[in-house]
Amino acid sequence: MTDNDRTLTTAEFSQMSGITISTTTRMLRQGKIHGEKRIGKWAINPSELQHPAVVAQTGPKKSSADLGPIVDAPVTAGKSYHVETFAKMTYLTEHGVRRWLRTGRLSGSIDGAGKGLVDATNLDRPEFKHLIRQ
């Protein structure tokens, strides 16, 4: 890599690849992706975004059809949403939804495929009304 090349920081690479900064740094240290240290910071060539190790880490992209329906109709009891869908319906991240399910702040279950499901009744609770995207 020459100094004239446009390079990415670990934060930029992380944002573009969808891999956390810590995982990006670990992959650099282990030599799974290539970069060099410049003044104590990693410089990563953008071409590394296509590296097989990065593609394997991020996995295939899911289509919105895989996430379940996004319903604009009023919520009724008995419905549930996949974590990804619930996150899109609210201002929570997928990570936040999973954490709230683990800690019991949201009610839900696990489907047969091992995916997290969030009960739709959570959307009716007064303490979550401000989190719903309009």
**84 and 53 housed in the same domain:** no
Answer yes or no: is pLDDT of 65 > 70.
no
Q: What is the average pLDDT score of the chain?
A: 80
**91 and 39 housed in the same domain:** no
pLDDT band at 27 (very low <50, low <70, confident <90, very high): very high
Question: Residue 38: which domain range?
Answer: 10-58
**77 and 124 housed in the same domain:** yes
Question: Is residue 5 included in any domain, yes or no?
Answer: no
pLDDT of amino acid 28: 94
Residue finishing a domain among 58, 79, 97: 58
Answer yes or no: is pLDDT of 83 > 60.
yes
Answer yes or no: is pLDDT of 36 > 90.
yes
Average pLDDT over residues 92-120: 84
**68 and 127 housed in the same domain:** yes
Tally of structural domains, the chain:
2
Per DSSP, what are the bridge partners of residue 118?
81, 108
**53 and 68 housed in the same domain:** no
More confident residue, 38 or 61: 38
Among 3-12, 20-29, 68-77, name the one with the lowest average pLDDT: 68-77
Question: Is residue 3 included in any domain, yes or no?
Answer: no
Question: Is residue 118 included in any domain, yes or no?
Answer: yes
DSSP string, the chain: --TTS--B-HHHHHHHHT--HHHHHHHHHTTSS--EEETTEEEB-GGGGG-HHHHHHH-SPPPGGGG-PPP-SPP-TT-EEEHHHHHHHBS--HHHHHHHHHHTSS-EEE-TTS-EEEEGGGGGSGGGGGGB--
Among 38-47, 93-102, 106-115, name the one with the lowest average pLDDT: 106-115
The model scores a pTM over 0.75: no
Question: Is residue 1 included in any domain, yes or no?
Answer: no
